Amino acid sequence: MKEATHKTIQYDLIYPNGDHCQYEIEINAENLEHAAPSDTPPDWAKLEFNKCSNCPLSAEEHPTCPLASRVAPLFDFPIHSAHEDVSVKVTKDTVTINADTSVQEAYRSLVGLIMATSGCPHTAFFKPMAWFHLPFSDQEETMFRACASFLLYQFFNPADPGERSYFSDLEAVYTNIHTVNLEIAKRLKAADATSSTLNAIVVLDIFAESMLPKIRDSLRDLAFLFKTP
Q: Which residues of 143-171 are buried (b: 16+ CB within 10 A; e: fewer)?
A: bbbbbebbeebeeeeeeeeeeeebbbebe
Q: Say what percent of the chain tops pLDDT 70.
A: 78
| Listed residue (204, 225, 198) closest to 136, CA to CA | 204
pLDDT of residue 24: 93
Q: Please say whether the beta carbons of 100 and 87 come within 8 A.
A: yes
Q: What is the pLDDT of residues 146-198, one digit of tens each?
A: 888 887 877 776 655 555 554 457 778 888 888 888 888 888 788 776 666 76
> What mean pLDDT comes out for the span 191-218?
65
The mean pLDDT of the chain is 83
CA distance 113 to 156: 23
Residue 79, helix vs strand vs coil:
coil
Q: What letter represents residue 21's amino acid? A: C
Q: Once rounded to an integer, what is the mean pLDDT over residues 22-47? A: 91
Task: Tell me the pLDDT tens digit for each residue of 64-73.
Answer: 999 999 988 8
Task: Give dist(CA 160, CA 139) in Å, integer.
Answer: 30
The yes-or-no verdict on residue 91 having pLDDT over 80 is yes
d(CA 128, CA 145): 10
Could you give the C-alpha distances from 138 to 8, 109, 122, in angstroms and in order? 22, 10, 21
Residue 65 contacts residue 46 (beta carbons within 8 Å): yes
Residue 128: name the closest of 152, 94, 107 by CA.
Answer: 152
- pLDDT at residue 136 is higher than 60: yes
The whole-number pLDDT of residue 182 equals 84
In tens, the pLDDT along 35-52 reads 998 888 888 899 999 899
Q: What's residue 166's pLDDT?
A: 45
Residue 3: is its pLDDT beyond 50?
A: yes
Candidate from 12-21, 87-96, 189-198 with smallest mean pLDDT: 189-198
Q: Is 176 exposed, middle or buried (0-12, 13-18, 19+ CB in 10 A)?
A: buried
CA angle 66, 68, 73 (to 5 degrees): 110
Per-residue pLDDT at 62 = 94
Q: What is the pLDDT of residue 227?
A: 65
